[in-house]
Chains A and B, each alone.
Chain A
């Protein structure tokens, strides 16, 4: 397998010199290694037996791979004060509800914004674009007040509900929906379908690539949450919080920590590997036009 599309390029694109291509490739490899090393190390660590985790001088690759850490993990799952399975369940609940809710609500809001002009539509979209320009840290303080007024402090709702209105998702969904052919929607309207019916039966099935994109952007955020500032109860905390505690706890659970770290990391990456082509397809409409 040729690494570069040279044969085709030489025919199609005349503007390529081979030495420069090689240089660029070397550059890419060098930084590719920089990107990959910590991840490869995390994978290796999860399969290291305890004595290898603490060897000196530290060793990068695993010598005698073992599943010991994962067995330990299963053992710890049941027997601590708050079983690790509880943290797992919390993370899954938060991630699933937050992500699915986000995809549905953002799509519902994106459809009118993408396809129709009505009073306020421009202003609303400008506000969403403006909200991409600052980070959630800005709103953290008043958020606490809003949460306590709603009585959502120390509930999963404090993580799930705000995640549903993540502005980047609405932005990308709207840009993607704009390219749906108007004729398709018109035809349905002539057949007498209501807006809601059109949305569910025509628009939604046609924006599947964008669902996956919203999933890829929102999933890692929720999957990696440590419970934020609003969840205090131990039994409501998340897997990442448990990992932080294990890491702080030091040597005794280092093996289990490495296993949990691998699980936290590998799930979002696997999702991306599966959905990559659809995500890129969505991103091609992501631009800001005016």
Chain B
């Protein structure tokens, strides 16, 4: 009895608390009205073309759908087919992982190292070198120049050069030989990959507090490597995190370059990636459910790698 009576007021208090929470929420929603209106145009488009498609893709991956008939629920069948009977998917997955494992870290480190060296130059030279390194990433489809460089006949620059200097007797089919083609795609992808992260690193390096470096010198930092490790890297952590996200996403998304250089499909699927597999099923075979399963796997692959690496970088030096 006593206990019950004692509980009563507590309940009432909780109830009124809930009510007041609701009323503060509506009050805040009203107060924020202008903010929602300002955000509306962007958010509507963003929802339509990013949020909804991700959700739809996830659901579609459990259906069989060819755009003509109604979707038919098939459960895990698409995923089972991908991992158990689609050999080409396994090749594409292996290529993508190999590709990401190389271009991701290499391009990330290259972005940093070049930004770091460029930052030591005088302002005019620095601006010039920044353009040189950044230009490939914004120069559109100029990467087709690499087609001429790696062309398989003697007109190809690389073949021409190697034959003139006597390293080769016969031209190599760089883009038609399984042995080389993935490496050529990797090389060109690296050439294109000094993009936004590179700029973010340059900016980060320029805003490092000078007094930190001077204080470091007093504290016995002997050379530039120590300065890099103990002062520069820790004070750039936000940019490093940002750059990591961009480079990782880029490393998993290779498709255009592979298709432009190696062809589609590439010789014996040597440069086939998860994205080109997705394009194959989505835009050529119109197996939308199956393609959605590929997209979902790609999504999980990209996001989980990103979250993992974020955690790793945050852990450095804390």
Question: Hey, which bits of chain A sit against chain B, CB under 8 A?
Answer: 1-5, 9, 12-17, 20-21, 24-25, 27-28, 31-32, 34-36, 38-39, 41-42, 56-58, 60, 105-106, 108-109, 111-113, 116, 118-119, 121, 124, 127-128, 130-135, 137-146, 161-162, 164-165, 167-168, 170, 194-196, 199, 216-217, 220, 223-224, 226, 229, 240, 243-244, 247, 261, 264-265, 268-269, 272-273, 276-277, 279-284, 286-289
Residue-wise, chain B 153-164 has the 8 Å CB interface mask toward A (1 for contact) of: 011110010001
Partner pick for B39 among A113, A146, A243, CB 8 A cutoff: A113
Please give the distance in Å from B279's CB to the nearest CB on chain A: 8
Partner pick for A161 among B45, B110, B214, CB 8 A cutoff: B45
The interface residues of chain B, by DSSP majority, are classed as helix
Interface positions of B from 115 to 158, Cβ below 8 Å from A: 117-118, 120-122, 124-125, 127, 129-136, 138-146, 148-149, 154-157
Please give the distance in Å from A29's CB to the nearest CB on chain B: 9
**How far apart sit A58 and B158, CA to CA, in the bound complex (Å)?**
10
| B215 in the interface (beta carbon within 8 A) | no
Partner pick for A35 among B135, B204, B279, CB 8 A cutoff: B135
B35 contacts A4, CB within 8 Å? no
A133 contacts B295, CB within 8 Å? no
Given known pairs A15-B223, A38-B142, A135-B250, the reply for A32 and B120 (CB within 8 Å) is no
Please give the distance in Å from B245's CB to the nearest CB on chain A: 5
**How far apart sit A281 and B238, CA to CA, in the bound complex (Å)?**
15
- Of all chain B residues, the one with the shortest Cβ separation from A263 is B140
Range of interface residues on chain B?
35 or more
**How far apart sit A264 and B139, CA to CA, in the bound complex (Å)?**
7
**How far apart sit A105 and B223, CA to CA, in the bound complex (Å)?**
47
| B268 in the interface (beta carbon within 8 A) | no
| B271 in the interface (beta carbon within 8 A) | no
B117 contacts A27, CB within 8 Å? yes
A162 contacts B140, CB within 8 Å? no
Chain A residues lying within 8 Å of B43, measured Cβ to Cβ, are 109, 124, 165
**How far apart sit A195 and B135, CA to CA, in the bound complex (Å)?**
39
A105 contacts B160, CB within 8 Å? no
Residue-wise, chain B 36-63 has the 8 Å CB interface mask toward A (1 for contact) of: 1011011101101111111011001000
Q: Interface segment, B26-34, B85-93, B167-175?
A: B26-34
A141 contacts B237, CB within 8 Å? no
B140 contacts A264, CB within 8 Å? yes
**How far apart sit A131 and B238, CA to CA, in the bound complex (Å)?**
18
Given contacts A28-B114, A162-B45, 13 further A-B pairs with CB under 8 A are A2-B122, A24-B117, A24-B120, A109-B42, A109-B43, A119-B28, A119-B29, A132-B249, A140-B282, A144-B282, A167-B46, A168-B246, A280-B199
A195 contacts B250, CB within 8 Å? no
Chain B residues lying within 8 Å of A127, measured Cβ to Cβ, are 51
Chain B residues lying within 8 Å of A130, measured Cβ to Cβ, are 303
Question: Hey, which bits of chain B sit against chain A, CB under 8 A?
Answer: 25, 28-29, 31-32, 34-36, 38-39, 41-43, 45-46, 48-54, 56-57, 60, 67, 110, 114, 117-118, 120-122, 124-125, 127, 129-136, 138-146, 148-149, 154-157, 160, 164, 191, 194, 196, 199-200, 202-204, 206-207, 210, 213-214, 217, 221-224, 226-227, 236-242, 245-246, 248-250, 252-253, 255, 275, 278-279, 282-283, 288, 291-292, 295-296, 298-299, 302-303, 306-307, 310
Chain A residues lying within 8 Å of B36, measured Cβ to Cβ, are 112, 118
Given known pairs A28-B117, A288-B241, the reply for A138 and B57 (CB within 8 Å) is yes
Given known pairs A132-B249, A287-B238, the reply for A28 and B48 (CB within 8 Å) is no
Given known pairs A32-B132, A139-B295, A220-B138, the reply for A4 and B122 (CB within 8 Å) is yes
**How far apart sit A41 and B145, CA to CA, in the bound complex (Å)?**
8
| Interchain residue pairs A-B with the least CB separation, the first 5 | A287-B238, A224-B140, A118-B32, A112-B35, A283-B203
- Of all chain A residues, the one with the shortest Cβ separation from B241 is A288
B54 contacts A139, CB within 8 Å? yes
A58 contacts B160, CB within 8 Å? yes
Given known pairs A38-B143, A165-B49, A284-B207, the reply for A28 and B129 (CB within 8 Å) is yes
Chain B residues lying within 8 Å of A38, measured Cβ to Cβ, are 136, 142-143, 145-146, 149, 191
Given known pairs A15-B224, A280-B206, the reply for A108 and B249 (CB within 8 Å) is no
B135 contacts A39, CB within 8 Å? yes
Chain A residues lying within 8 Å of B154, measured Cβ to Cβ, are 56-57
- Of B48, B120, B127, B213, which is in contact with the most chain A CB atoms at under 10 Å from its CB? B120
The interface residues of chain A, by DSSP majority, are classed as helix
B142 contacts A39, CB within 8 Å? yes
A287 contacts B136, CB within 8 Å? no
**How far apart sit A42 and B110, CA to CA, in the bound complex (Å)?**
24
Chain B residues lying within 8 Å of A128, measured Cβ to Cβ, are 46
Partner pick for B160 among A1, A57, A244, CB 8 A cutoff: A57
Partner pick for A1 among B124, B203, B291, CB 8 A cutoff: B124
B38 contacts A112, CB within 8 Å? yes
B45 contacts A105, CB within 8 Å? yes
Partner pick for A287 among B222, B241, B253, B299, CB 8 A cutoff: B241
B144 contacts A247, CB within 8 Å? yes
A142 contacts B56, CB within 8 Å? yes
Please give the distance in Å from B221's CB to the nearest CB on chain A: 6
Please give the distance in Å from A135's CB to the nearest CB on chain B: 4
